[in-house]
Amino acid sequence: MSELRKLVAEELSGPVDPRVRAVAAAIAARHEAASRAVLFYGSCLRQKQLDGLMLDFYLIVSDYRAAYAKRWLAGANRLIPPNVFHFEHDGLVSKYAVLSEADFAHECGPEAWTVSTAARFAQPSRLVWSANEAAAARAIETVSRAAPTLLGWTLPLVDRRDVPALWKRAFAQTFAAELRAERAGRSAAIVEADPERYERFGAAVLEATAGPSRRRVQALRWWKRKQRRGKLYSVARLAKASLTFAGGADYIAWKINRHAGTDIRLKPWQQRHPLLAAISLLPRLLKSGAVR
């Protein structure tokens, strides 16, 4: 995987707006005793636009207990990773998810509990802060596992010679494993936004990967199990976020409106109680197809 690691290292060190690094450093300082690395990803990275949007980060920590003053936050992060927090710095709004180095490595590997983290870091990201060279190297190694993991899960379903189709199917499968507010065709749009990047990364993965370890029928059953588990896990994470994420209900509504083209307006009681708001909105969203 030396070629893939080289590609990942180059991508992670790519340029970003200096304000992104400033936000990342402020996030790391908030958990100073445990912070190891901060990764920037998502729509703001792809669009190269920050103002008026919510920046997305992952904070990688050495240990959950060291990361928090409150024990219940460490316990919640360990039980249902990651914890997600709202954060504002110098006029920019962001959210960041917290994972330990061990959980990050596990979730980017083939035995991951859910498919979300591998799918996220098989896409472009930037390493915008690290505690030291060792922490940066470990982050690069972990991100280098994501694409092989995601494509390895998907190889039984697609002809390996068709790299774009492999990526598109991989993202479609992972979107189906979450409660997603996405327009149809989103998985294809991700790949088509930067086809050369996905061709390079896909070729590097396939060059070092043998044939699929599962047959197609087995793989489809595996994905079905992951998708059922993933949706239940999404509900559990949503419940936990109602305790950790300030303005959680407004964020959920904004995210759905942005991705699904809806016009959800929350009532005051829904803003005060994000978990109840999500539960009350879910039947309507599922019926309309805004969330899948």
For 57-81, what is each residue's pLDDT tens digit?
999 999 999 999 999 999 999 999 9
| Residue 87 sits in the same domain as residue 36 | yes
Residues 14 and 33 in one domain: yes
Cis peptide bond upstream of 110, omega within 30: no
**Domain shared by 253 and 143, yes or no:** no
Together in a domain, 58 and 167: yes
On whether both 275 and 150 belong to a single domain, the answer is no
Domain region containing 271: 247-292
Structure confidence at residue 52 (pLDDT): 83
- Of the pLDDT bands very low, low, confident and very high (cuts 50, 70, 90), residue 253 is low
Give me the chain's average pLDDT, please. Answer: 87
Specify the pTM. Answer: 0.85
Same domain, 51 and 157: yes
Beta-sheet strands, E only, within the chain: 35-41, 54-61, 83-89, 92-100, 125-130
pLDDT at 38 over 80: yes
What does the alpha-carbon distance between residue 77 and residue 84 come to, in Å, rounded to a whole number?
A: 9
- pLDDT, greater one: 14 or 186: 14
Query: What is the number of structural domains in the chain?
Result: 2
SS3 helix, strand, coil % of the chain, rounded to 5?
60, 15, 25
What is the arithmetic mean of pLDDT over 260-289?
A: 61
The per-residue pLDDT for 183 is 58
Mean pLDDT of 222-234: 89
The distance from CA 67 to its chain's CA centroid, rounded to whole angstroms, is 20
Average pLDDT (199-204) is 96
**pLDDT level of residue 237 (50, 70, 90 thresholds):** confident
pLDDT class of 257 with cuts at 50, 70, 90: low
How does pLDDT run across 107-144, given as a tens digit for each residue? Answer: 999 999 999 999 999 999 999 999 999 999 999 999 99
Tokens of 218: 């087995």
pLDDT of residue 117: 97
Q: In terms of domains, do 84 and 116 share one?
A: yes
Same-domain status, 274 and 189: no
Is it the case that residue 266 has pLDDT exceeding 90? Answer: no
Note whether 207 and 260 are same-domain residues. Answer: no
Q: Identify the pLDDT of residue 199.
A: 97
Q: Would you place residue 235 in the very low, low, confident or very high pLDDT band (cuts 50, 70, 90)? A: confident
* 191/277 same-domain check: no
Residue 63: give its domain's CATH number: 3.30.460.10
Residue 35 and residue 118 in one domain: yes
In this prediction, residue 274 carries a pLDDT of: 59
**Same domain as 232, residue 252:** no
pLDDT surpasses 70 at 182: no
Assign 234 a pLDDT band (cuts: 50, 70, 90): confident
